[in-house]
Homo-oligomer: A and B are copies of this chain.
Amino acid sequence: MIVVLAGGVGAARFLEGLVQVAPPEEIVAIINTGDDMVFHGLHVSPDIDIVTYTLAGIVDESQGWGVRDDTTHALSMLAQLGAETWFKLGDRDLAVHIRRTELLRAGWTLSEVTDAFRRALKVGVRLLPMSDDQVATEICTPVGWLHFQRYLVQRRARDEVLGVRFIGIDRACPAPGVIEALQQADAVIIAPSNPVVSVGTILAVPGVRDAVTSTPAPVVAVSPIVAGAPIKGPAAPLMRAVGLDVSARGVAVCYRGVIDTLIIDQADAGLADEIRAFGMEVAVTDTIMHGRAAKRRLAETALSAARTATRRRP
């Protein structure tokens, strides 16, 4: 069993590669839910949806999220009725949030909903929310604490980032199967996701960091930072805000003691020795996932790094 800690777009693309080289039913993704937010009274789980849509083959590949060729007729009408519509929700996408909300209100857990939806959409990979409890990632800015989506989408990440917190994290339990998957994994791979607000959130769920550090399986991470910049998303200001270099080295510092091997891009090969000094192995490859073959190659590299890893965690 291969367990992947997953944020949104980067993780979804990595998983697209992984299902080319491993049976989907032997892969478990543990997905960040700190970015979840209620819009129009509907429970939206952006990272779960991105991963589900991507693996179902229905994602809008140009943006990395949402459903391909979706319309936004409901959103236009919502705007006409006075609703805030800065978070783009397509009509097909909205159906997912409508149904999720209905089932949650009927007493289903987020895990149960997530599993039902991935099955309905014929996704073979098991998808686990990091927790069935509500966690909200908030960003401290000069205008105050903002929900991550307000910071990222509504205000387009334009505010200075002064800090990050995960509201509700202390009382959150790992979702059923999360700890077991980590304990029983043959390999744990941290996808190229935001180390602070995607992977960082998952690791902050009580019990998860310990389960990762203590798993007998090799733990490999793919750096989401290439040549000093994230491939996508607001990792730079968030890493800086928590005192990390925006570099593969910063990623290494963040994951020190958690992983055995860090996979970095060729562009960062010069940092390899420095990173090894943090107590981890380094694998250098092309981490940019342009196209199906590139995704497969990165997944192969990650699996091969896991096979050859020696335990470097304390």
Cβ of A92 under 8 Å from chain B: yes
B-side contacts of A116, CB under 8 Å: 81-82
Cβ of A41 under 8 Å from chain B: yes
B-side contacts of A78, CB under 8 Å: 95, 98-99
Nearest-CB distance from A100 to chain B (Å)? 9
Contact residues, A267-283 vs B (CB, 8 A): none
Also in contact, A41 and B105, with CB within 8 A (given A82-B116, A91-B71) = yes
Q: In the complex the two chains form, is B70's CB within 8 Å of A83's CB?
A: no
B-side contacts of A98, CB under 8 Å: 40-42, 74, 78, 94, 98
Which residue of B is nearest A41, CB measured? B102
Q: In the complex the two chains form, is A99's CB within 8 Å of B117's CB?
A: no
Interface residues on A, range: 20 to 34
Cβ of A77 under 8 Å from chain B: yes
Which residue of B is nearest A90, CB measured? B73
Cβ of A63 under 8 Å from chain B: no
Q: In the complex the two chains form, is A120's CB within 8 Å of B81's CB?
A: yes
Cβ of A101 under 8 Å from chain B: yes
Which residue of B is nearest A101, CB measured? B41
Q: How far is the CA of A236 from the CA of B78 in the complex (A)?
A: 38
Q: In the complex the two chains form, is B120's CB within 8 Å of A91's CB?
A: no
B-side contacts of A102, CB under 8 Å: 40-41, 83
Nearest-CB distance from A192 to chain B (Å)? 29
Q: In the complex the two chains form, is A77's CB within 8 Å of B92's CB?
A: yes
Q: In the complex the two chains form, is B121's CB within 8 Å of A92's CB?
A: no
Nearest-CB distance from A94 to chain B (Å)? 5
Cβ of A308 under 8 Å from chain B: no
Nearest-CB distance from A102 to chain B (Å)? 3
Cβ of A164 under 8 Å from chain B: no
Q: In the complex the two chains form, is A95's CB within 8 Å of B77's CB?
A: yes
Cβ of A304 under 8 Å from chain B: no
Cβ of A80 under 8 Å from chain B: yes
User: What are 27 A-B pairs with beta-carbon distances under 8 A?
Assistant: A40-B99, A41-B98, A41-B101, A41-B102, A42-B98, A67-B77, A71-B71, A73-B73, A73-B91, A73-B92, A73-B95, A74-B91, A74-B92, A76-B92, A77-B91, A77-B92, A77-B95, A77-B96, A78-B95, A78-B98, A78-B99, A80-B121, A81-B95, A81-B120, A82-B116, A94-B94, A98-B98
List the 9 closest A-B pairs by CB distance, nearest first: A41-B102, A77-B95, A73-B91, A74-B95, A91-B91, A77-B92, A78-B95, A74-B91, A81-B99
